[in-house]
């Protein structure tokens, strides 16, 4: 049985988190950055595709079922845009970090603080994207199950 797009996204975010959480071994900063880049490059098209297809379709379903959730859908759409902005920023930051590490050579300690900040930024991105997925699922389910009054 094949995985659905949401499961594929969740796995790619988990893989990225593992790369980010992996300690940088002295002398292997460039290799670590390469692993993170590979995970980012794998996650990006999956995230973009899910936002353009799955999220868009499900946001329309939420609005069709319950217009009262329009403010939630708007917040989710803004969150999706924020995810893409964060992803682009993360890629640029990683490029800068990699270039700096290559210039420093064996003196990678000079970029330790940068690595820590980048790792935090990356994990915040992963958490944000995961939170978006949970929010989307929650509001879709709520749109179908919500009691809308009408009384006895």
79-to-19, 26, 91, 106, 140 alpha-carbon distances in Å: 24, 36, 18, 39, 16
| Percent over 90 (pLDDT), the chain | 75
Q: Give the model confidence (pLDDT) of 90-140 as tens digits.
A: 999 999 998 888 886 666 676 778 899 999 999 999 999 999 999 999 999
Residue 49: inside a domain = no
- Tell me what the mean pLDDT of segment 62-76 comes to: 96
Q: Is the pLDDT reported for residue 3 higher than 60?
A: yes
Domain for residue 125, yes or no? yes
Q: Which of 18-27, 39-48, 132-141 has the lowest mean pLDDT?
A: 18-27
Q: Which of 21-35, 51-65, 130-144 has the lowest mean pLDDT?
A: 21-35
Domain, as residue range, for 85:
1-20+64-144
Number of domains in the chain: 1
What is the share, in percent, of the chain residues with pLDDT greater than 70? 91
pLDDT score at 29: 87
Residue 120 lies in a domain: yes
Residue 54 pLDDT > 90, yes or no? Answer: yes
46 located within any domain: no
User: pTM, whole model, 2 decimals?
Assistant: 0.90
C-alpha distances in Å from residue 115, one per residue of 1, 18, 69, 97, 108: 39, 15, 40, 7, 10
23 pLDDT more than 70: yes
Q: In this structure, is residue 35 part of a structural domain?
A: no
Residue 72 in domain: yes
Give the chain's mean pLDDT.
Answer: 91
Does a structural domain hold residue 32?
A: no
């Amino acid at each position: 049985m094949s995985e659905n797009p949401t499961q594929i996204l969740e796995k790619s975010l988990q893989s990225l988190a593992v790369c980010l959480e992996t300690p940088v071994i002295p002398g292997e900063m460039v290799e670590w950055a390469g692993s993170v880049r590979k995970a980012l490059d794998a996650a990006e098209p999956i995230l973009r595709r899910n936002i353009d297809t799955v999220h868009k379709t499900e946001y329309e379903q939420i609005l069709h079922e319950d217009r009262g959730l329009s403010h939630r859908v708007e917040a989710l759409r803004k969150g999706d845009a924020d995810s893409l902005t964060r992803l682009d920023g993360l890629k640029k930051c990683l490029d800068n970090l990699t270039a700096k590490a290559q210039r420093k050579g064996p003196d990678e300690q000079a970029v330790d603080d940068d690595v820590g900040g980048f790792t935090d930024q990356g994990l915040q991105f992963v958490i944000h994207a995961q939170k978006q997925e949970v929010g989307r699922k929650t509001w879709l389910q709520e749109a179908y199950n919500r009691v809308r009054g009408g009384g006895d």
